[in-house]
Amino acid sequence: MNALSKQRCFIGLGANLNNPMGQLRAAISALAGVPGSTLGRVSSLYGSKPMGPQDQPDYVNAVAELYTELPPLQLLDALQQIEQQQGRVRKDERWGPRTLDLDLLLYGNEQLQCERLTVPHYGLAEREFVLYPLQEIAADLQLPDGRSIHGLCQQVPRCGLTVVAQAPC
26 vs 108: CA distance, rounded Å: 24
Q: Catalytic site residue 101?
A: yes
Q: Which of 55, 90, 101, 147 is catalytic?
A: 101
Q: Which of 25, 55, 98, 145 is catalytic?
A: 98
Angle, CA of 132, 86 and 133, to the nearest 5°:
5
Q: Which of 55, 77, 88, 90 is catalytic?
A: 88
Q: Catalytic site residue 90?
A: no
Cβ–Cβ under 8 Å, residues 22 and 106? no
Q: Catalytic site residue 94?
A: no
Q: Which of 103, 140, 145, 147 is catalytic?
A: 103
* Rounded alpha-carbon distances, angstroms, from residue 83 to 5, 32, 95: 27, 14, 15
Residues recognised as catalytic: 88, 98, 101, 103
